[in-house]
Amino acid sequence: MFDIVFQHADFIIIHKPCGISVHKDDQALGLTTLVAQQLNLPQVWLVHRLDKVTSGLLILALNKQAAATLSGLFADHRIEKTYLALSSEKPKKKQGRIVGDMQKSRNGTWKLCQSKENPAITRFSSLSCEPNLRLFILFPQTGKTHQLRVAMKSLGSPILGDELYGGNKQKSDRTYLHCYQLKFTYKDQQINVKTLPKTGKFFTALSVQEKIQQWERENNCEKPQ
């Protein structure tokens, strides 16, 4: 059973656990099939993606028209996304922007280039939680494959537990990347949904929870739906 964080007549927003692929993958039933069965519907539509290792908010459309509308909002970058990530490595800079084209590399990885013809753009800020543990708040302005994982590696702070991008210097119980907030307007309705990570000993640690709350206070974040 997936946790439904927000329900609308045209779509739902679920909390996707880490370790579950949005595609069928090697599982007997894909995520969309499982959600459709849970809702007792013939079909639901995927309108964006989260990596298998990433947890958090995932929108699923409940009809074809909504799927087209929501896909359009994502394509036009009109859905504001906020992610949380943890790293054990100190970044080159504590906040700012990471901009660059992305190019396919080896073993299914991507790399950030100096060129900026069709760049991946990520804004970020970070807070120290405790020695060798830093919270990153990531705001992707584009939606490229592995964008945030590559951006974090380029900062010298690969995401904790991200074996693909070198964040495995210490043993970890998960990849510490989580889609925390989605904000957008749908048919004149303001949608603002948040969900905290539910798994991972570092995400649920008091020092990290306190820094998330501190960042919320300092940025006067609106109350979610």
Q: pLDDT tens, position by position, for the chain (225 residues)? A: 899 999 999 999 999 999 999 986 666 678 999 999 999 999 999 999 999 999 999 999 999 999 999 999 999 999 999 999 999 999 999 999 999 999 999 888 999 999 999 999 999 999 999 999 999 999 999 989 899 999 999 999 999 999 999 867 767 899 999 999 999 999 999 999 999 999 999 999 999 999 999 998 888 655 443
DSSP 221: P
Residue 164: give its domain's CATH number.
3.30.2350.10
Closest CA to 1 of 18, 19, 14: 14
Question: What is the total count of domains within the chain?
Answer: 1
Distance of alpha carbon 76 from alpha carbon 72, whole angstroms:
6
Q: Does residue 225 lie in a domain region?
A: no
Q: Does residue 222 lie in a domain region?
A: no
**Around Cβ 96, how many Cβ atoms within 10 Å?**
14
Find the catalytic residue in 10, 51, 76, 188.
Answer: 51
Q: Does residue 41 lie in a domain region?
A: yes
Residue 10 is among the residues annotated as catalytic for this protein:
no
Amino acid at the residue 35: V
- Exposure b/e, 45-56, CB count within 10 A at least 16 = b: bbbbebbebbbb
Q: Print the domain residue range for 193.
A: 3-217
**Around Cβ 195, how many Cβ atoms within 10 Å?**
21
Cβ proximity of 48 and 59 under 8 Å? yes
Distance of alpha carbon 198 from alpha carbon 204, whole angstroms:
7
Q: Does residue 132 lie in a domain region?
A: yes
Q: Which residues pair with 127 in a beta bridge?
A: 135
Nearby residues of 105 by Cβ (< 8 Å), 6 or more positions away: 111
